[in-house]
């Protein structure tokens, strides 16, 4: 299912007027079976929780009442504009989908009002929002919207990935249902018997099975290459992206699930983070005895300054059996973790200080580094004197002569 195939929300006060462009556009979207939720007034923000699978929203800027100007005024009353902006803010925070604002008024002025509002990032408008003139899209709305989505990299990726995701999701549940329609009971009960969080275990089972059922996603290579050549990605943006794919923030984590990779800030040192390396099987709260607190094996990481040169960057990445580095782990900075300073902490004390979770393969590599460190075997020290020239015992002429003779005879 592509992003432009699926349920649509269309908000326009003229949506039911057969003589108006809104009605024509609505019928065009419904013509191929696309479900359209039509509203003549702005819905309450509570409705957004039902729009999680929304493909896109078409929104009329000038919802009556509210505009006091004539054609082209692009003005809403203060109250109407605030309500509209509040609705858009909630939608952007809840659903990732294109938002197409259409209007018979001044498109440039509407764009300016959106850009200047702090809720949409200040001067830089969220790339999911696009303002169109009604007259420009009324004849071929879907084609115009599709063309714009194709040129928006994030939305284009979502459109392609979602298509394969939906196929894999259906394959997964069809396969599991063939085994037994009550398959969730087995997973749930098995989790309870194993004393792990059943909801998390069920979700993990689905996620793991889904991942390996997704076909190779064929993204638009041409668009990707063109974007790569033309993009001027700032270092700050690159760091944000790396952190986003490396770390899950604490507010997105299940409160009762403890995992390797959980990170805790130090209550005394703001430049220090403690990383949990405890195996997952030892972080199951349900396996603890009554009143027992979970002990976590953690190592400290110290915030590092940004390397000012390639040489310093190489030094930062240099292999060391006693430590490892994780780039852009927290606070926009790299951290070096000291395996020689490991400690045990109690979950009851560390839990409230959790700042996020380092994901695989980064946490896996950290655990491997610790395993190697724990197995380091000391050996007797050797020195350069072992091979120092001019002091070899074989410099005795008699020994050298005997060795040469033996070599000649064997030849």
Domain end position, chosen among 151, 166, 201: 151
- Residue 393 inside a domain? The answer is no
- Check the CA dihedral 50-51-57-61 and report its sign: positive
- Residue 303 inside a domain? The answer is yes
Question: Which region among 121-125, 234-238, 262-266, 358-362 has the lowest average model confidence (pLDDT)?
Answer: 121-125
Q: What is the pLDDT of residue 182?
A: 93
Both 25 and 95 in a single domain? yes
CA dist., res. 349 & res. 258, Å (int): 13
CA dist., res. 139 & res. 132, Å (int): 13
Read off the pLDDT band of 57 (50, 70, 90).
very high
| Per-residue pLDDT tens over the stretch 158-184 | 877 887 888 899 999 999 999 999 999
What length is written for the chain? 411
Both 31 and 120 in a single domain? yes
Q: Which three-class secondary structure state does DSSP give residue 268?
A: coil
Residue 181, domain extent = 156-221
Both 12 and 147 in a single domain? yes
Q: What is the pLDDT of residue 315?
A: 94
CA dist., res. 243 & res. 237, Å (int): 10
Best CA proximity match to 202, nearest among 193, 212, 211, 190? 190
Read off the pLDDT band of 76 (50, 70, 90).
low
CA dist., res. 148 & res. 177, Å (int): 39
Total domains in the fold of the chain: 3
According to DSSP, residue 367 is labeled H
- Residue 230 inside a domain? The answer is no
Percent of the chain residues past pLDDT 70, beyond the cut:
88
- Residue 386 inside a domain? The answer is no
Best CA proximity match to 60, nearest among 116, 18, 118, 110? 110
CA dist., res. 211 & res. 176, Å (int): 15
- Residue 227 inside a domain? The answer is no
CA dist., res. 360 & res. 367, Å (int): 10
Both 304 and 275 in a single domain? yes
Can you give the pTM of this predicted structure? 0.67
CA dist., res. 59 & res. 297, Å (int): 52
72 has a pLDDT exceeding 70: no
Phi, then psi, of 126 in degrees rounded to 5 = -55, 130
70 has a pLDDT exceeding 60: no
- For residue 241, how many other CB atoms are within 10 A of its CB? 11
**Cα torsion at 194, 195, 200, 206 (round to 10°)?**
10
1 has a pLDDT exceeding 50: no
Both 213 and 249 in a single domain? no
Instruction: Compute the average pLDDT of residues 6-14.
Output: 91
| Per-residue pLDDT tens over the stretch 141-164 | 777 777 788 778 788 788 778 878
CB 246 within 8 A of CB 359: yes
351 has a pLDDT exceeding 90: yes
- For residue 362, how many other CB atoms are within 10 A of its CB? 18
CA dist., res. 277 & res. 37, Å (int): 49
| Per-residue pLDDT tens over the stretch 206-219 | 998 988 888 877 77
392 has a pLDDT exceeding 70: no
What is the average pLDDT score of the chain?
A: 85
Place of tokens 């194993």: 194
| Per-residue pLDDT tens over the stretch 225-275 | 776 777 777 889 889 999 999 999 999 998 888 999 999 999 999 999 999
Maximum CA pair distance of the chain?
Answer: 116
Read off the pLDDT band of 52 (50, 70, 90).
confident
133 has a pLDDT exceeding 90: no
Q: Which three-class secondary structure state does DSSP give residue 259?
A: coil
Both 190 and 320 in a single domain? no
Percent of the chain residues past pLDDT 90, beyond the cut:
46
Both 41 and 137 in a single domain? yes
Looking up residue 358, the CATH number of its domain turns out to be 2.30.30.110
Both 136 and 193 in a single domain? no
Q: Which three-class secondary structure state does DSSP give residue 325?
A: strand
296 has a pLDDT exceeding 50: yes
Both 166 and 257 in a single domain? no
3 has a pLDDT exceeding 70: no
Q: What is the pLDDT of residue 123?
A: 61
- For residue 129, how many other CB atoms are within 10 A of its CB? 18
Q: What is the pLDDT of residue 276?
A: 98
Look up residue 188 and give its two tokens: 């749930």
> Can you give 124-170 as a three-state secondary structure string?
CCCCCEEEEEHHHHCCCHHHHHHHHHHCCHHHHHHHHHHHHHHHHHH
In whole angstroms, how far apart are CA 69 and each of 117, 238, 314? 21, 44, 62
Both 49 and 105 in a single domain? yes
Looking up residue 138, the CATH number of its domain turns out to be 3.40.50
224 has a pLDDT exceeding 80: no
Both 250 and 122 in a single domain? no
CA dist., res. 326 & res. 339, Å (int): 13
- The neighbouring-strand residues paired with 382 are none
Read off the pLDDT band of 330 (50, 70, 90).
very high
């Amino acid at each position: 299912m592509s992003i432009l195939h699926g349920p649509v929300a269309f908000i326009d006060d003229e949506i039911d007027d057969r003589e108006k462009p809104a009605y024509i556009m609505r019928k065009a979207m419904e013509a191929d079976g696309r479900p359209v939720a039509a509203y003549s007034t702005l819905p309450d923000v509570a409705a957004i929780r039902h729009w999680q699978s929304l493909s896109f929203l078409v929104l009329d800027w000038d919802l009556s009442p509210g505009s006091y100007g004539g054609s082209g005024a692009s003005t809403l009353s203060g109250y109407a504009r605030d309500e509209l902006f509040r609705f858009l803010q909630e939608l952007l925070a809840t659903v990732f989908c294109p938002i197409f604002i259409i209007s018979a008024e001044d498109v440039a002025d509407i764009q300016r009002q959106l850009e200047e509002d702090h809720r949409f990032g200040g001067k830089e408008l969220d790339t999911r929002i696009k303002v169109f003139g009604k007259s420009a899209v009324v004849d071929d709305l879907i084609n115009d919207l599709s063309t714009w989505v194709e040129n928006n990299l994030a939305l284009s990726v979502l459109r392609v990935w979602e298509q394969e995701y939906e196929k894999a999701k259906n394959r997964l549940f069809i396969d599991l249902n063939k085994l037994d329609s009550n398959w969730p009971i087995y997973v749930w009960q098995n989790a309870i018997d194993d004393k792990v969080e059943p909801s998390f275990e069920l979700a993990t089972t689905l996620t793991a099975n889904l991942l390996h059922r997704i076909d190779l996603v064929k993204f638009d290579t041409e668009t990707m290459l063109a974007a790569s050549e033309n993009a001027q990605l700032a270092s700050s943006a690159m760091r944000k992206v790396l952190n986003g794919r490396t770390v899950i923030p604490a507010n997105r984590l299940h409160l009762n699930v403890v995992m390797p990779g959980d990170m805790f800030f130090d209550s005394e040192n703001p430049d220090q983070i403690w990383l949990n390396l405890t195996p997952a099987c030892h972080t199951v709260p349900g396996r603890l005895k009554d009143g027992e607190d979970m002990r976590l094996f953690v190592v400290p990481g110290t915030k590092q300054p940004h390397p000012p040169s390639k040489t310093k960057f190489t030094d930062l990445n240099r292999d060391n059996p006693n430590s490892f580095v994780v780039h852009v782990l927290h606070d926009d900075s790299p951290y070096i973790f000291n395996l020689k300073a490991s400690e045990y902490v109690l979950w009851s004390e560390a839990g409230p200080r959790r700042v996020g979770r380092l994901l695989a393969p980064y946490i896996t590599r950290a655990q491997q580094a610790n395993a190697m460190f724990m197995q380091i075997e000391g050996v007797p020290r050797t020195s350069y004197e072992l091979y120092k020239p001019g002091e070899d015992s074989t410099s005795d002429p008699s020994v050298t002569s005997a060795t040469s003779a033996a070599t000649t005879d064997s030849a």
